[in-house]
Amino acid sequence: MNVEVLQTDQKKKTPVSNGPKTAPYFFRFGLDRSRDTQKSDQSSQDCISIQWTATRLSATLCDGVSQSFFGELAAAELSNKLSQFLLALPIESDAAFLHDTIRAFLDNLSSTFSRTVEEYSLDNIEPAFLRSVLEKKRYLGSEAVFTSVLLDKTTNLTLLVWAGDCRLRLWLRDEEVTKELLSTETFLTQERWSSSKGIIGDLHLALFPVSSFDTIMSYSDGLSLLDEKSHVFQESNIAIEHYVSQTKSFASSDDVSFLQISTLPSEKLPLGSTAQLPELRVTEGHASDFVHLQWQNSALVQSWEVVANSETGFAKLTASKNIVKVPKTEIASEGAWLAYRGKTNGGFTPWSSWKFYQPPRSAQQIETEKSKQNAILSRTQPPLKAYRQLPQINGTTSSAAGSYRAPSFSGASNHYPERPQTQQVPPVSAPSDRAWQFALLALLVGIFILGSFMIFGGKGEEPEVPLAVPQIHRPSNVPSFNPPIKDTPAAAETQPTDAAFENADTETPATDSAGENADTETPATDITKENEATEAPATDSDEATDMTETITHSVTGETDDSGTKCHLGIKPINVFDLQRTLFSRPIIMRSEICLFPE
């Protein structure tokens, strides 16, 4: 048994075209990618597989579920394997038996295909955030909705199988008979085939004589605009392509696939869908910027229509002669399918079959395409230099923000222009793995503090000098506002002064040289009050005390060089600016031991 297989290429457009004449039934099919998919040069998630012998034809149209794990994988696998299975399936049995057999096959296919999904590498996927999302999708599996058709000339039976919302329509003698033949059936979006679960929802099946219809059509939901067209089965391939091109302007532009099979003998097929003129010829001069499109002339034709159909557009022009001179630049660089037809007194002739033409690419175009490809690959991972701060707003709208140019979605531009770099103040800590930097800084500060104690700590141990901590003073040079600080665990462990800031009301700072003074709570409260006096209305019902305010812990009984009585204390120093320069993020505050006048 000689089996012929035709499967659409998911990486490129297949314009609606007639199938080979070796097939036992006439069919035509087409596939196109959505605007976004084509723009990013991804695979279509639709796929059609048509397989036939001398007496049988099976076809499966699949629409991968975009929110599943690479729905195109499921679509490709399912369309091929299900068509293959149906082509060899005896359909003399009753429908219930066939239903169980096909369902068992699909469940079994899931278990084998799930391994492909599990092993699908995500190593080259960036950023990591996307990778983690895809891992979640992998867990749910790769999914597709589908319709399958099996036509058998030997038994004169037709088997339809489907799950999901791909359309399935039937006609008999120019009248649509879908409701009559499939009145009790449903096409639900949530029903599908999944690599992890097999059939989700119901597997639908219908079995009836081939004579019940003469045309059957299936298409994915991306072509839902055909739903309202009652005689679409009679329309030409070019007309269907025109509908396909229209879907690209929709907000919900989706991959589209189209399949039509007819059981009629060739002489009774609708003229628009079958009869075709020979292809046109494309000739290009060696040094010319033009190409010539030429076709056989006819005395009956008054004028000609030529269409150029590509993934990026559909164009039609009228010509008075059977030759047209077109600038190469007017033809899509990825190539275009060309067709023509004539206008006579009696109306239009049928369209010709497609002729594909791709203009030769110049070195400059190749370079441009390379840069475009790179842009596409890296588009989801633009490196941002840093977060930027919104200019301070003082009760009125920000004038600086007014300088931003708003994006346009009218087609002129769909990307935002980069705003001018403003002062780079990091209000947040960008996710990073810079713990070692924190640890290093913490170590340096620790050494600094330890060294300070070795220098200044001698007199603190004199037994004749009483130590007391009556209150905490706020040095005048400490700014009232400190930027947000993210304390890492490492920093908190090695920086006792910062730990004290975080837990000022409960802990005794380790930097207290005496160590026996346990009443440092009061000073912290003093500072809090001081802040309240200087801040905006303290009506904030925030339930926690401000955690980032700085405090000092002091030891009295010192004198400075001039003899003024001082206390020994810890002076916080805001190293925010320094850290921003070094690490592009705020880290901690450090402190130093110094004398404060009393």
Footprint of another protein on residues 21-80 (CB under 8 A)? 35-37, 40, 42-43, 45, 66-67, 70-72
Residue with Cβ nearer another protein (77 or 235): 77
| Among positions 22, 381, 506, 564, the unique one binding another protein when judged by CB under 8 A | 381
Q: Which two tokens stand for residue 278?
A: 């020979």
**Integer Cα distance of 7 and 257 in angstroms:** 12
Q: Is 125 near another protein (CB under 8 A)?
A: yes
Q: Is 490 in the site for another protein (CB under 8 A)?
A: no
Residue from 55, 186, 408, 559 that binds another protein (CB under 8 A)? 408
The two structure tokens encoding residue 126: 């960036």
From candidates 97, 129, 139, 348, binder to another protein by CB under 8 A: 129
Side-chain-side CA neighbours of 302 within 13 Å: the count stands at 6
Contacts of residue 532, Cβ cutoff 8 Å, sequence gap at least 6: 538
Q: Is residue 505 part of the contact set for another protein (CB under 8 A)? A: no
Q: State the Cα–Cα distance between residues 205 and 199, nearest whole angstrom.
A: 13
CB 18 within 8 A of CB 26: yes
Contacts of 21 (CB under 8 A, 6+ apart): none
Q: How many residues form the binding site for another protein (CB under 8 A)? A: 84
Binding map of another protein across residues 573-592, x = CB under 8 A, - = no contact: -------------x------
The answer to whether 395 contacts another protein (rule: CB under 8 A) is yes
CB neighbours of residue 249 within 10 Å: 9
Determine the interface stretch with another protein among 287-295, 326-334, 396-404, 449-457 (rule: CB under 8 A).
Answer: 396-404
Is the distance from CB of 39 to CB of 377 less than 8 angstroms? no
In the complex, minimum distance from the CB of residue 524 to another protein, in angstroms, rounded to a whole number: 14
Residue among 365 and 381 whose Cβ is closer to another protein: 381
Helix (H, G, I), strand (E, B) or coil at 330: helix
Asked whether 555 and 460 are in contact (CB, 8 A), the reply is: yes
398 binds another protein (CB under 8 A): yes
> How far is residue 503 from each of residues 12, 280, 449, 498, 500, measured CA to CA in Å?
62, 83, 19, 9, 5
Give, for 281, the enclosing helix (H) or strand (E).
strand 281-284
- Contact between 92 and another protein by CB under 8 A: the answer reads no
Smallest distance from the beta carbon of 548 to another protein, in angstroms?
Answer: 6
Backbone angles phi and psi of 456, in degrees to 5: -100, -10
Q: Which of the residues 550 through 569 are near another protein (CB under 8 A)? A: none
Element (H, E) at 32: strand 26-32
Q: Which stretch binds another protein (CB under 8 A): 13-21, 23-31, 351-359, 414-422?
A: 414-422
Report residue 186 as tokens. 């449903």
* Cis, bond preceding 127 (omega within 30 deg of 0): yes
- Residue 435 touches another protein, criterion: CB under 8 A: no
The least distance separating another protein from the CB of residue 384, rounded to whole angstroms, comes to 6
Contact 89, 101 (CB under 8 A): yes
**Of 156, 329, 414, 564, which one interacts with another protein (CB under 8 A)?**
414
SS3 for 199? strand
Closest separation in Å from C-beta 409 to another protein: 6
Which CB sits closer to another protein, 56 or 138? 138
Q: Is the peptide bond before 479 cis (omega within 30 degrees of 0)?
A: no
What is the footprint of another protein within residues 249-278 (CB under 8 A)?
Answer: 251-254
Kindly write out the interface string for residues 157-196 of this chain, putting x where it contacts another protein by CB under 8 A and - elsewhere. --------------------------------x-------
Give the binding range for another protein (CB under 8 A) out of 1-9, 178-186, 193-201, 479-487.
Answer: 479-487
Residue 343 makes CB contacts below 8 A (sequence gap 6+) with 301, 302, 303, 304, 305, 349
375 binds another protein (CB under 8 A): no
**Minimum Å distance from CB 195 to another protein?**
15
Round to whole Å and give the CA distance between 596 and 598: 6
133 is a site residue for another protein (CB under 8 A) = yes
313 sits near another protein (criterion: CB under 8 A): no
Only segment of 18-26, 209-217, 246-254, 305-313 that touches another protein (CB under 8 A)? 246-254
Sheet holding 323-327, edge to edge: 281-284, 290-294, 323-327
Q: Does 425 bind another protein (CB under 8 A)?
A: yes
294 contacts another protein (rule: CB under 8 A): no
Residue type, 521: E
Which CB, 435 or 468, lies closer to another protein?
435
Question: Which letter does DSSP use for residue 475 in this model?
Answer: -
Residue 543 as a binder of another protein (CB under 8 A): the answer is: yes
Which of the residues 510 through 539 are near another protein (CB under 8 A)? 535-539
Residue number with CB closer to another protein (299 or 406): 406
Q: Which of 121, 345, 397, 476 binds another protein (CB under 8 A)?
A: 397
